[in-house]
């Protein structure tokens, strides 16, 4: 059972992670119908009203400061909600899809120097913006860094450690320093002043780990690890990996200096020292066999700065783990599945009525996957659900995701019901509509004409569907500046609209006005 919406607006869909600072959920903003991340920060015991009020003030202050970091490498803060009991606080933020930097750390396969430098350099750009406010992260670690498919680094959880820090009000039972000891600077371990250089120490720990696949200090236990950070000298990188450039080794040693004053002056200085190891714009990627597999390339941002969206085609989401058509329909309890489908459809309809299209489509997706796994991807009921979901995506304007699903559905209905079946033609028409919206005019015209030929043979040239298709074709031709062909379609369409609906009907007048403008433009 899902939790109740937060502030009567933010709905929690699924828990993403859970840790010492609380939970992270994927959800939706019910007003804007957009995907969000919600951090449910669980406070420890607050023993008095004074402590609760102090916590509330700190929460609001830190949330506002964090929201001031205007950088693409920091997920935007949309809202901050503190419940009346002060038992929980919620940060509503931009939802980021990416790969955790933890996946990049492999002792058997340390990162190429350019990859490690690209990650660290991007983190530096984020820190430079944050430290200018100033906001200190206090808990920089691989788990708080994501890399998107485009190679962009996103630094998460700014302000969270500050909200929960223990130097203002005692909010933890043990009074322990907050942060992750494997990346914590000596001054933070000892409870001294935290500064931007504290984040640079953590960055040095992170860069060391990316380059050798092992932490700067490992420690047999938590106490030993903290002692090493405070007193022990780190192992130079080149003793662990000889191919690391001397200047990179020196940079990491300076970042990991025990005294904050001995570390680089600021994040910009670190960025400058990493520049020689970043690929220039237009540089080719090394051969695939020389690079880590299965994780995004963080140098892509430098090799192809501000590049267009990749042309990678989307595949229907249901295809992932959805099962095969050969599975028996009785492989799952029919009653439970039937109830789940009915509930999902009803929930989707409610969301659709509120014009929350993204959520309405996702409500169906949640039941499509188990239904397809049990009944098969081309089971009639599953196909109906898929078709409904894809139609909702179109209503919401998401042509890019709807298109591959309608292509898949048109092929599936052609196999199961026949190539000229109503469902196959309906999906082909929707695919054409998506292609028209995405600028794929040539293919869209071919598909519209294919559907129109079928409709004409079955219903005639003046049926409602035929008239709509003729209009779609004419307008698409007009948009492509094929004026003569557009005229050949729109003029007889206008005559038929006048016969069917009358010359004063809205649709008749619209096409008539277009033809008048074309005629005047031709005379000019």
pLDDT at 316: 41
- Cβ-proximal residues to 39 (8 Å cutoff; 6+ apart), any chain: 21, 22, 23, 24, 25, 90, 91, 93, 157, 160
CA distance 255 to 250: 9
**Same structural domain, 493 and 344:** yes
Please say whether the beta carbons of 455 and 469 come within 8 A.
yes
User: Angle 474-477-479 (CA atoms, 0-180°, nearest 5)?
Assistant: 110
Residue 86's pLDDT is 62
**Which has more pLDDT, 175 or 186?**
186
Residues 41 and 160 in one domain: no
Residues belonging to the chain: 524
pLDDT band at 317 (very low <50, low <70, confident <90, very high): very low
Give the active site residue among 29, 33, 139, 407.
Answer: 139
Q: Is 398 a catalytic residue?
A: no
pLDDT at 425: 94
Domain identity same for 114 and 87: no
Residue 109 counted as domain residue = yes
Mean pLDDT of 395-406: 90
Give the pLDDT confidence score for residue 290 in this predicted structure.
Answer: 83
CATH number for the domain spanning 399: value is 1.25.40.10
pLDDT > 90: percent of the chain: 53
Last residue of one domain, picked from the residues 74, 95, 116: 95
DSSP string, 325-392: TTS-GGGS-HHHHHHHHHHHHHHHHHHHHTT-HHHHHHHHHHHHHHHHHHH-TT-HHHHHHHHHHHHH
Determine, yes or no, domain membership for 290.
no
For range 486-501, the mean pLDDT: 93
The pLDDT of residue 207 is 97
Please, what is the average pLDDT of the chain?
Answer: 85
Check whether residue 49 and residue 131 sit in a common domain: no
Range of the domain at 171: 97-283+297-305
Each residue of 447-468: pLDDT tens digit?
999 999 999 999 999 999 999 9
CATH of the domain at 68: 3.30.200.20
Q: How many domains in the chain? A: 3
Domain presence at residue 292: no
Shared-domain flag, residues 228 and 362: no
Strand 99-100: give its sheet, edge to edge.
Answer: 99-100, 145-147, 153-155
In this prediction, residue 134 carries a pLDDT of 80
Which of 95, 123, 152 lies at the terminal end of a domain, its last residue?
95
Task: Provide the pLDDT confidence category of residue 524 given band limits of 50, 70 and 90.
Answer: very low
Q: Are residue 161 and residue 121 in the same domain, yes or no?
A: yes
| Tens-digit pLDDT profile for residues 411-459 | 999 999 999 999 999 999 999 999 988 888 899 999 999 999 999 999 9
What is the number of alpha carbons within 13 Å of residue 25 lying toward its C-beta? 21
In a domain, 310, yes or no: no
Residue 36 backbone dihedrals phi, psi, to 5 degrees: -140, 165
Looking at residue 523, what is its pLDDT? 55
> Which tops the pLDDT comparison, 334 or 481?
481
Asked if the model's pLDDT at residue 371 lies above 70, the reply is: yes
Q: Give residue 222's pLDDT band: very low, low, confident or very high (50, 70, 90).
A: confident
Does any domain span residue 313?
Answer: no
Report the CATH number at residue 191.
Answer: 1.10.510.10
CA quadruple 78, 84, 88, 90: dihedral, nearest 10 = 0
Give me the pLDDT at residue 163, please.
59
Torsion of CA 220, 233, 275, 117, to 10 degrees: -10
How far apart CA 106 and CA 317 sit, in angstroms, is: 30
Same domain, yes or no: 301 and 365: no
- pTM exceeding the 0.85 threshold for the entire prediction: no
Q: Specify whether 102 is located in the same domain as 44.
A: no
Residue 317 inside a domain? The answer is no
Q: List C-alpha distances in Å: 142 to 128, 145, 180, 202, 205.
A: 18, 5, 10, 10, 10
More confident residue, 219 or 261: 261
Indicate if 173 and 25 belong to the same structural domain: no
- Domain contains 274: yes
The answer to whether position 318 is within a domain reads: no
Q: How far is CA 519 from CA 384, 486, 524, in A?
A: 45, 12, 9
Q: Which of 305, 338, 363 is the last residue of a domain?
A: 305
What pLDDT is recorded for position 20? 60
pLDDT reported for residue 62:
67
Cα separations in angstroms, 165 against 43, 194, 221, 405: 11, 11, 23, 48
Per-residue confidence at 23, pLDDT binned at 50, 70, 90? confident
Geometric angle at alpha carbon 16, from 10 and 20, rounded to 5°: 100
Question: Does residue 170 carry a pLDDT above 70?
Answer: no
Q: In this structure, are 403 and 507 located in the same domain?
A: yes
Question: pLDDT-derived band of residue 42, with 50, 70 and 90 as boundaries?
Answer: low
* pLDDT on residue 314: 43
Q: What is the pLDDT of residue 288?
A: 84
Same domain, 374 and 421: yes
Q: Judge if 16 and 58 occupy the same domain.
A: yes
**Per-residue pLDDT for 169 more than 60?**
no
CA–CA dist 59, 51 (Å, integer): 12
Indicate if the pLDDT at residue 57 is higher than 80: no
Contact 100/46 with Cβ under 8 angstroms?
no
Give just the sign of the alpha carbon dihedral 301, 305, 308, 311.
Answer: negative
Radius of gyration of the chain (CA): 29
More confident residue, 280 or 66: 280
| Burial class of residue 132 in the structure, from the number of CB atoms within 10 Å of its CB (0-12 exposed, 13-18 middle, 19+ buried) | middle
More confident site: 485 or 77: 485
Token representation of residue 462 = 């003046």
Name the least confident of 19-23, 284-288, 499-503: 19-23
3-state DSSP of 422-452: HHHHHHHHHHHHHHHHCCCHHHHHHHHHHHH
């Amino acid at each position: 059972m899902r939790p109740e919406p937060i502030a009567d607006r933010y709905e929690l869909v699924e828990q993403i992670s859970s840790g010492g600072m609380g939970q992270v959920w994927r959800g939706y903003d019910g007003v804007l119908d957009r995907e969000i991340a919600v951090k449910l920060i669980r406070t420890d015991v607050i023993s008095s009203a004074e402590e609760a009020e102090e916590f509330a003030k700190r929460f609001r202050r830190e949330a506002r400061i964090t929201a001031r970091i205007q950088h693409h490498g920091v997920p935007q803060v949309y809202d901050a909600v503190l419940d009346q009991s002060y038992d929980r606080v919620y940060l509503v933020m931009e939802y980021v899809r990416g790969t955790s930097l933890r996946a990049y750390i492999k002792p058997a396969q340390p990162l190429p120097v350019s990859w490690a430098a690209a990650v660290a350099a991007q983190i530096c750009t984020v820190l430079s913006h944050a430290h200018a406010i100033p906001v200190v992260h206090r808990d920089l670690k691989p788990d708080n860094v994501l890399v998107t498919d485009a190679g962009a680094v996103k630094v998460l959880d700014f302000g969270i450690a500050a909200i929960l820090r223990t130097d203002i009000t005692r909010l933890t039972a043990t009074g322990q320093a907050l942060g992750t000891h494997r990346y914590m600077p000596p001054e933070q371990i000892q409870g001294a002043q935290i500064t931007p250089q504290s984040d640079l120490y953590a960055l040095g720990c992170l860069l060391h780990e990316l380059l050798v696949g092992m932490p700067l200090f490992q420690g047999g236990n938590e106490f030993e690890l903290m002692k090493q950070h405070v007193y022990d000298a780190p192992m130079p990188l080149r003793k662990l990996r000889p191919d690391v450039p001397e200047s990179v080794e020196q940079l990491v040693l300076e970042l990991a200096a025990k005294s904050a004053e001995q570390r680089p002056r600021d994040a910009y200085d670190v960025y400058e020292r990493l520049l020689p190891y970043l690929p220039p714009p237009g540089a080719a990627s090394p051969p695939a066999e020389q690079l880590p597999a299965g994780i995004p390339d963080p140098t892509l941002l430098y090799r192809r700065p501000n590049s267009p969206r990749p042309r990678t085609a989307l595949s229907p989401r249901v295809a992932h783990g959805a099962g095969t058509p050969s599975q028996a329909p009785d492989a799952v309890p029919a009653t439970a599945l039937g109830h789940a489908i009915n509930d999902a459809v009803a929930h989707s309809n409610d969301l659709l009525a509120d014009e929350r299209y993204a959520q309405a489509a996702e409500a169906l997706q949640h039941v499509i996957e188990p239904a397809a796994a049990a009944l098969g991807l081309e089971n009639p009921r599953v196909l109906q659900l898929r078709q409904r979901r894809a139609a909702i995506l179109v209503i919401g304007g998401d042509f890019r995701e709807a298109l591959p699903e309608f292509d898949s559905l048109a092929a599936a209905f052609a196999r199961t019901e026949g190539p000229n079946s109503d469902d196959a033609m309906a999906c082909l028409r929707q695919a054409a509509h998506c292609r028209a919206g995405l600028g794929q005019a040539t293919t869209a015209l071919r598909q519209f004409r294919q559907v129109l030929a079928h409709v004409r043979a079955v219903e005639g040239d003046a049926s409602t569907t035929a008239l709509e298709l003729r209009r779609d074709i004419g307008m698409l031709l007009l948009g492509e500046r094929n004026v003569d062909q557009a005229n050949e379609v729109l003029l007889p369409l206008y005559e038929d609209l006048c016969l069917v609906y009358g010359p004063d009907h809205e649709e008749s007048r619209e096409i008539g006005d277009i033809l008048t403008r074309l005629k005047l433009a031709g005379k000019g």
